[in-house]
Amino acid sequence: MSSSPPSPSPSNIDTPDHDDLLELYRANKAAEGLHHDLNDDGAYQQTFTDPFASGGMGGEGAPSDGASGDGQHAFPSGAQSSQRVNPDYAVLPLSLIPGFEALQMRLHGKLDLDATAQDLTLEMANANSFQEIGYIVTCVAAKIEQRLRNMEDRARFSLSSDLKKSIALNARVLLLSAKLTAYRSKDINEAVFRALKTLKAPDLPGDNDITGKGVVLKEIGAVLSNFRCELKKAIIESIPQGSSTRNIAALTSVIISPLNISPMLTTYTRIAWLRSRTVKYLKMIEEQEPQRATEYWVFMDQELAKWKEDLKTQPEMDAAFTFAYEQDKSTYGPPTVTQVRVLEPNKVPDWMVKLDDAAKTVLNSAVPSGSTRAPKRKRTARQ
């Protein structure tokens, strides 16, 4: 005797709760662009227009059994879309799923999205096919790429002609300063940059524009490098007998002629010191193998470090530089035989005084000439 099938009970029913079905039905019916055609049995039919059914494609998306050849596919328990949607890629829009509004409000609030961003998220929430979702994602990616390109364009700081002129003048005047403590220090570019800010040079980048500052520092470095070469060449050429620039005034005039400035007495004393150290350098490299010779400006920094170490105080340093100047006049002739006149200390322009102040801040990490000690290492905070 066959047993009768078990009677339905809440524990063995797979059908969703009727209230849930009603909510889902109402959501589907409210979908934008979806139209419902109820049939005689009370069920409704979803019809999709298949863009792949035009005869150009076979396989997935092409008409099959149960579908007409005009691209119309009938699917039960759905809705009819007026859009051309491949049924294999159709999805229920996220905006129609219960609880979406709460999700939307929560995420928009947490991410602090503006109106434009919120509109974009709604485009995605209303998408009813994977093709549409993919296209939205592509558009978003293209917009991000566009923004990045625009940011890169803004980040490309360019030097104005006025700023280039300011760098060319101030960097070279600082290099001639009698207060300069090092010629090849890594800090000298920064010292010039600080001076430019103090002097309110035109068209400098903003404080937070790291890229722009890098462009300016690179230009400063190029100007200093070229001027060091010119300065070294002029000093070496002034040493031989018969040179037209043996006199300190003539030599200084050649050096500063592109700058359109008048020399100070301290300019003479510094150039005279450089010439005395150049003579020492030339004698030194005659006794060394060329590949072992110290680079010219490194040697000058070593000599400055040695003088500072030996002489201890600034008054002693000033007196020693003055002595070097007196020795230069005895060897190469006094500047008074020329028509060049120096600026009186009380007539030195304020901008040149500020460059002197900046020159004093340059760090000299060179080991003093003749010293056997190792170079000082920068202290770092313990981690």
Task: Answer yes or no: is pLDDT of 59 > 60.
Answer: no
State mean pLDDT over 84-106.
79
State mean pLDDT over 191-203.
96
- Predicted confidence (pLDDT) per residue in 123-172, tens digit: 888 888 888 888 888 888 888 888 777 666 556 788 999 999 999 999 99
Residue by residue, what is the 3-state secondary structure of the chain? CCCCCCCCCHHHCCCCCHHHHHHHHHHHHCCCCEECEECCCCCEEEEEECCCCCCCCCCCCCCCCCECCCCEEEEECCCEECCECCHHHECCCHHHCCCHHHHHHHHHHHHCCCHHHHHHHHHHHCCCEHHHHHHHHHHHHHHHHHHHHHHHHHHCCCCCHHHHHHHHHHHHHHHCCCCCCCCCCCCHHHHHHHHHHHCCCCCCCCCCCHHHHHHHHHHHHHHHHHHHHHHHHHHHHHCCCCCCCCCHHHHHHHHHHHHCCCCEHHHHHHHHHHHHHHHHHHHHHHCCCHHHCCCHHHHHHHHHHHHHHHHCCHHHHHHHHHHHHHHHHHHHCCHHHCCCCCECHHHCCHHHHHHHHHHCCCCCCCCCCCCCCCCCCCCCCCC
The domains of the chain are located at: 18-87, 100-155, 161-359
Determine the Cα–Cα distance for residues 377 and 292; give it in Å rounded to an integer.
24
Residue by residue, what is the 3-state secondary structure of 366-378? CCCCCCCCCCCCC
Q: Are 196 and 223 in contact (CB under 8 A)?
A: no
Determine the Cα–Cα distance for residues 77 and 32; give it in Å rounded to an integer.
17
Work out the mean pLDDT of the chain and round it to a whole number: 78
Which range has the worst mean pLDDT, 81-85, 175-179, 306-310, 355-359?
Answer: 81-85
Would the pTM count as exceeding 0.85? no
Determine the Cα–Cα distance for residues 163 and 192; give it in Å rounded to an integer.
13
Determine the Cα–Cα distance for residues 183 and 180; give it in Å rounded to an integer.
7
Task: Answer yes or no: is pLDDT of 266 > 70.
Answer: yes
pLDDT of residue 340: 76
State mean pLDDT over 85-103.
79
Q: Which of 196, 230, 198, 228 is nearest to 213 (CA)?
A: 196
pLDDT of residue 153: 53
- Predicted confidence (pLDDT) per residue in 203-225, tens digit: 999 888 888 999 999 999 999 99
Cα distances (Å, whole numbers) of residue 38 to 42, 45, 115, 141, 175:
6, 7, 39, 41, 91
Task: Answer yes or no: is pLDDT of 65 > 70.
Answer: no
For the purposes of burial, counting CB atoms within 10 Å of the CB of 2, is it exposed (0-12), middle (13-18) or buried (19 or more)? exposed
Task: Answer yes or no: is pLDDT of 18 > 80.
Answer: no
pLDDT band at 337 (very low <50, low <70, confident <90, very high): low
Any idea how long the chain is?
383
pLDDT of residue 91: 83
Q: Are 87 and 73 in contact (CB under 8 A)?
A: yes
Determine the Cα–Cα distance for residues 253 and 255; give it in Å rounded to an integer.
5
pLDDT top residue among 365 and 271 = 271
* Among 150-159, 178-187, 336-345, the range of highest mean pLDDT: 178-187
